[in-house]
Amino acid sequence: MTIRWYPGHMGKAQEKMAEAIRKIDVIVEVIDARLPLSSSNQQLEEMRRNKPCIKILNKNDLADPAVTKAWVRHFEQESGVCALPLSARVHADAKQLIKLCQKTVPHRGRPGWPLRVMVFGIPNTGKSTLINTLAGKCMAKVGDKPAITTCGQQIDLRNGIVLSDTPGILWPNMDDQAVAYRLATSGAIGASALDYTCVGLFAAEYMMGRYPELLKARYKLTELPETPTGMLESIGRRLGCLMSGGEIDVHRAAEAFLRELRAGKIGRISLEEPAQAADIAVIDEDTCVEGSQVPLSLELVTE
């Protein structure tokens, strides 16, 4: 099974954004603190035209704190880039962003000269939640599914800052298959476009290698199984994902495991690190459960 998920509105929106950036003072890119590189739109560098960029590492409360600090140092080595970890739902965190925008462009933000800020991000990173927190009311649609926002709007915060909201946009081609699996693990790709079993196996293998103690604690295991399939079976047994005859429903177990991972119930984890971002292997066909539809490659393409 090949993932094909690039809704038509994304391509059109990206063209409009590239033009709108000409009139923007600061770009705020909302990324997922658990996978900062994979959740960055790689085409932003081409579009931002040397404009100042603030990278918001959202869902900071779900990410490994030590790894997040390393990502902040990594991003701030880039020219014109600042990085700010936060939780988009927390008002105090949102105020930090306001202050940073004002500090970045101090000559704007007065009557007749508003500070123009574009909020940008791939689906399901919390962009709309952040906008609503900044505005103090529901101005952008939010949900636990990607691609909720499909059109842009301008929001006057009445503090000298005008926000431009944008749809969540993925890049149309994805050669790095590890990136696709990490995005699928985090929930940034629509559920209809992926196979939960294989994504669950990928996530289980990563967690077994990187955060084994968290798995043991969450699922009350004295030792981890030897394989990702065994890990999902142990999770399924613990969570009651059973079929008739007591057999483990691995598909249901994978779904439940990914829900818990995304919600932070297993603990604070990061799916990639600055020095290891390209080194996470992709589950191959032989690793997946026999009989499942195996996404041999995860490719996002324009519909």
- The residue assigned the tokens 């301008």 is 154
Instruction: List domains and CATH numbers for the chain.
Output: 2-165 (3.40.50.300), 177-298 (1.10.1580.10)
Whether the per-residue pLDDT at 192 is higher than 50: the answer is: yes
Residues 6+ apart with CB under 8 A from 33: 57, 58, 59, 60, 62, 63, 68, 71, 85, 270
**Phi, psi (rounded to 5 degrees) for 285:** -60, -40
Q: Which residue has the higher pLDDT, 5 or 43?
A: 43
CA separation for the pair 204, 213 (Å, rounded): 13
CA separation for the pair 298, 276 (Å, rounded): 20
pTM of the entire structure?
A: 0.83
What pLDDT, on a 0 to 100 scale, did the predictor assign at position 259?
96
What pLDDT, on a 0 to 100 scale, did the predictor assign at position 276?
63
What pLDDT, on a 0 to 100 scale, did the predictor assign at position 294?
38
What pLDDT, on a 0 to 100 scale, did the predictor assign at position 298?
44
What pLDDT, on a 0 to 100 scale, did the predictor assign at position 303?
32
Q: Which residue has the higher pLDDT, 14 or 249?
A: 249
Whether the per-residue pLDDT at 295 is higher than 70: the answer is: no
Tens digits of per-residue pLDDT, 118-137? 998 888 889 889 999 998 87
What pLDDT, on a 0 to 100 scale, did the predictor assign at position 172?
47
Whether the per-residue pLDDT at 289 is higher than 70: the answer is: no
Mean pLDDT of 183-202: 87
What pLDDT, on a 0 to 100 scale, did the predictor assign at position 213?
98
